[in-house]
Amino acid sequence: MMNGYDEKRELDDDAFGAKGSIVSAFDAFRTTIPVPILPTLPSIPVPKSKPQYVQRTAGGGKWTVAMALVSLVLFWSELARWWRGEEQHTFAVEKGVSHVLNINLDVVVRMRCADLHVNVQDAAGDRILAAERLHRDPTLWQHWVDGKGMHKLGRDAQGRVVTGEGYTGVGEHDEGFGEEHIHDIVALGKKRAKWSRTPRLWGAEADSCRIYGTLELNKVQGDFHITARGHGYRGLGEHLDHKAFNFSHIISELSFGPFLPSLVNPLDRTVNVASAHFHKFQYFLSVVPTTYSVGHPGEMGSTSIFTNQYAVTEQSQAVPETTIPGVFVKYDIEPILLNIVETRASLLMFLLRVINVVSGVLVAGHWGYRLTDWVTEALGRRRRGHSEGMLGVKGHFDE
């Protein structure tokens, strides 16, 4: 007791705690009603405002919770945008001189491996016996497509076809290309790629042939084609019955440059079914050399990966028996270079953006709260005015 002031009673924290629901307790818009300043003793700390001095708002707590949620969503959006960085696409004339180009192929044709010829003929006049450099495995068509004829094998996080048989050591090329961000592309590009194993036959008779692997070609215009034995390139005494022709095919991978399976190419997961024994499929590809970079080239810590992209036009039709059927991929190398550079703002710039976003939410929330509070108060006064009679007498006159 000090000068009649009961410290234990007057300084009870429970008397100043928030009452009601958690929403009303978490109210950033609670307003304090001015009261006369009372003299306080130096030894007594000034407590928080008492509940009777505080005017509780109707929706202040709800507005506070809504602002917190909006701020959290916008913060996460800014964080994701900062993490992705900004992409810049520029074209330039390719200045480098190169002579070779790799083609990565994973195709299933609905014919026996012994009945197929795989060759490459380029503009330099070289003929490459691709069948001798690629892997050919007997397989079943149903292992690769579902009942509706769609490609049913999925891909793993690194873009490789999941056959359920694990991976072999075939293919010793760089792996790369995340599906979303350039920095994932560059990071994965430093790893090694492996071709998936062909699903087992388990005693069944193969009706298809899987052709896969990497070919080193001349970097000039060329034609990669799959034809039937004894047709197109005639062998000694080799000829295949026309009834055995079925050039229905599944393309799981077709890319140029380093084997980077996570990069989604236009022809990946393509399924094309032949409508006749003599059917010709043609794909016209325009290959564009492409460089992916994180940070501006030449800067400290910048890394790059060189690969190729392509655009494709497809044409397929049944042909007469005087025309050679098969699968033909005609490719042309464009003399331009596409540079894709990802840059990321500094951490200080990211923090400034977050502060600006949160500040904007607070200002908008404040004005929204003020507006709704004013509307609620105006409607309340209007209802009270209709419920009162003359001279403030409510309802009816007392008898």
293, 342 in Cβ contact below 8 A?
yes
Task: Give the residue with greater pLDDT, 240 vs 31.
Answer: 240
Kindly tell me if the per-residue pLDDT of 300 is higher than 60: no
pLDDT for res 176: 33
Minimal CA–CA distance to 62: which of 371, 376, 375, 365?
365
Residues 115-160: tens digit of each pLDDT: 998 988 888 777 777 778 899 999 999 999 887 778 777 776 666 6
pLDDT digits (tens, 9 = 90+) for 260-283: 877 788 998 899 999 999 999 999
Q: Cα angle vertex 147, ends 145, 150, to 5°?
A: 40
Phi-psi sector, 243: left (phi>0), alpha (psi -120 to 50), beta:
alpha
**Mean pLDDT on 295-307:** 70
Percent pLDDT > 70 in the chain is 70
Amino acid sitting at position 94:
E
pLDDT of residue 256: 93
266: buried, middle or exposed (CB in 10 Å: 19+, 13-18, 0-12)? middle
Q: Which two tokens stand for residue 237?
A: 């005494």
Question: Mean pLDDT over all residues of the chain?
Answer: 77
Give residue-wise pLDDT tens across range 49-63. Answer: 555 455 555 566 777
What gap in Å lies between CA 399 and CA 389, rounded to an integer? 15
- pLDDT for 179-202, tens place per residue? 456 767 776 666 667 788 899 999
CB crowding 124-145: b at 16 or more within 10 Å, else e: eeeebebeeebbbbbbbbebbb
Contacts of 28 (CB under 8 A, 6+ apart): 60, 63, 64, 67
Do 309 and 192 touch, CB atoms closer than 8 A?
no
Q: At residue 72, does pLDDT exceed 80? A: yes
- Which residue is it, tokens 């992916």? 292
